[in-house]
Structure formats: structure tokens, C-alpha cells
Amino acid sequence: MRILITGGAGFIGSHLCDYLLEQGHEVIAMDNLITGSLRNIAHLRDHPRFSFINHDVTQPIHVEGPLDAIFHLASLPSPVDYLEMPIKTLKVGALGTYYALGLAKAKGARFLLASTSEVYGDPLVHPQSEEYWGNVNPVGPRGVYDESKRFAEALTMAYHRTHGLQTRIARIFNTYGPRMRLNDGRVVPNFIRQALRGEPLTVYDDGSRTRSFCYVSDMVDGLYRLLLSDEPTPVNLGNPHEMTILEFAQLVLRISGSKSEIVFVTPQDERTKDDPHARQPDVRKALRVLGWSAKVPIEEGLAKTIAYFASILDEI
């Protein structure tokens, strides 16, 4: 297949490029490099089935030649990014999805939207299944990201119902691994950076909030399986192994061998306003429909991620 990946120079997008090329496909990565990096795809520069287009998906998208599939991953998923660029975040979710769907319709291509667990907001149901409609504050600081993805899902389903477009929706839960941005404000790179530099690990409040972490190789496998499936409604992709943020901080210290201490802080900005208190995917649908479940244990994936960050720490 000839496949376009928007956000192809980003963390998950670049790993998806690798995966699809290994499967024998032709891959076009599209990115405007606001949060993506050419470093993530530098090893693919001379690959005969890979090409890169520097383009902002909030502008009309044109790709020469046929397309069989589009993975729409372009977004601003980090709190640092969407708090600094709220309007851009909304435009990527709304206009970016609109233009990507229009391209899929014009090319007769299958379309996969990379949505997010954030559509569930600060959930009142635990774990979160695809049937749960969520608990989102549309006017809070996180609303620009949450609502952009909820709108993107609605638009994707509208194209499916109105135009018969072959669409897929992946609700991605916390994913980690090499090529994450070290300073993107999320808990995995934050803790690893602090541990490797011997700085205190800053745990917000009492560390009792929970997350479930999925290694990136598992995630791209799930995305590919979903693309090839016949399931048009949302599917959760994530690792259901839940742990508190404090437990995760302790695990980072143990695996990295860092002597850093853990300190508890109360955020002085809006970064954690409406931050989910608990996050755990119900992945029974993914297992039933895709035959997929996360395989990589957190200790194994975290060791690989720490090794990656250690190798680039002096360069950042």
C-alpha cells in the first residue's frame, strides 16, 4: 500500500513509519515540525519507499499520485504544547482532520484517526470503555485538546456515514518509548530527565493519580491492525496495567539506578487543571475485534526508553 502519515516525524508517527516500511509499504510522512523532528526520521532519508513532505495540515493537503491509506496522527498532545498553542491545537484537530478526510475521500483511501483517551476527560467510570461518553470540561484549559479530538471523532464518523468512507478511530492511551521529546511536559520524559540528571523527581500533589503506560511498539502494531480491520467505531488501544504516579516514579528510580529523591509539589499553573485522576483502558474490544493486546512489560519498555534518553541527554 501507499500510505500517508500526518505527524509522521513525531514520536508515534516515526515509529509507525518504521513499522509500515518493514511491512513492505510505501510511506509518505507529512509534518510541519512544530513538535515533530527530522531527527526521528533521519535514518529513513535514503529509504527507497520513504518520502517526507513539510506541510501544515491546517492548510489544504495535496499529495501526488494514489493513496491507499491515511494515518492522521498530527496533533499537539502535550500539555506544554496545547497550553501554549490553544488555537493551533483546535485547528489541527478540526481543520487538520477535515482536510485529511477530504484527501482520503478524493483518493478513495482508508482513513485512521489517532484519537485519545482524553475524550473521556476526568472519568467517572473506571476503567474506561468505548461506550463511555466522558466527563470533559469544554471551557477549561485542557478543553482545547479534549474537544478537538471529540470533534475529530464526530467528523470522522460523519464522513463514514455520509460518504461511505472507510474510517477507523483509535483512542490512544498513554504511550511511551524512544523518540519522545525530553521536555514535552509529560510524566515519562519528565521523570526520566530528572532521574538521569540527578534532580528530584517532582510528583504532583500526593502521587495517587493513576496512569496505564503502553510501549510504542505495541501501539503501532495496534494501529496497523485497526487500519486493516472492518471496525468503524472507536477502539481503545493501551496497556490496562494501572499504577499510581508515585509507583511509576519509584520504578523509574529503580530501573535507572538514579539516587534522586522524590518530592511532592503543588502545581502553580493550569497544567493539571481537569487532569484525570484515574486512567485505565478497557481493551476487551481491541482483543475481540483485532486480536490485540499490549505485550511489552513496563520494566522492559522503560529500560529501553531510559537507555534512549541517556544516549541523547548531552545533546539537548
Mean pLDDT (the chain, rounded): 94
List the one residue out of 209, 201, 175, 181 whose CA is nearest residue 278.
Answer: 209
Residue percentage of the chain with pLDDT more than 90: 83
Query: At 5, is the pLDDT very low, low, confident or very high (cuts 50, 70, 90)?
Result: very high
Inside any domain, residue 52 = yes
pLDDT at 109: 98
pTM, to two decimals: 0.94
- Residues spanned by the domain of 225: 2-178+215-239+280-295
Q: What is the pLDDT of residues 102-113, one digit of tens each?
A: 999 999 999 999
Does residue 89 fall inside a structural domain? yes
What does the pLDDT read at residue 131? 94
Beta bridge partners of 242: 212
Which residues lie below 8 Å from residue 216, measured CB to CB, with a gap of 6+? Answer: 11, 12, 15, 175, 176, 177, 178, 179, 301
The answer as to whether 252 is a domain residue is no
Identified catalytic residue from 145, 159, 176, 215: 145
Whether 129 is in a domain gets the answer yes
132 catalytically annotated: no
Distance CA 145, CA 286 (A): 24
Would residue 84 count as lying in a domain?
yes
Q: Which residue has the cell 482520503?
A: 104
Tell me if 121 is assigned to some domain: yes
- Residue 3: pLDDT band by 50, 70, 90 thresholds? very high
pLDDT tens-place string over residues 12-28: 999 999 999 999 999 99
Residue 137 lies in a domain: yes
pLDDT band at 139 (very low <50, low <70, confident <90, very high): very high
Up-side HSE of residue 167: CA atoms within 13 Å toward CB? 28
Kindly report the CATH number assigned to the domain that includes residue 224: 3.40.50.720
Q: Which amino acid is at 235?
A: V
What is the total count of domains within the chain? 1
User: Is the pLDDT confidence value at 315 over 80?
Assistant: no
Residue 167 within a domain:
yes
List, in order, residues 6 or more apart from 230 with CB less than 8 Å away: none
**163-185: pLDDT as tens digits:** 999 999 999 999 999 999 988 88
Q: Which pLDDT value is given to residue 309? A: 94
Q: What is the pLDDT of residues 44-102, one digit of tens each?
A: 999 999 999 999 999 999 999 999 999 999 999 888 888 899 999 999 999 999 999 99
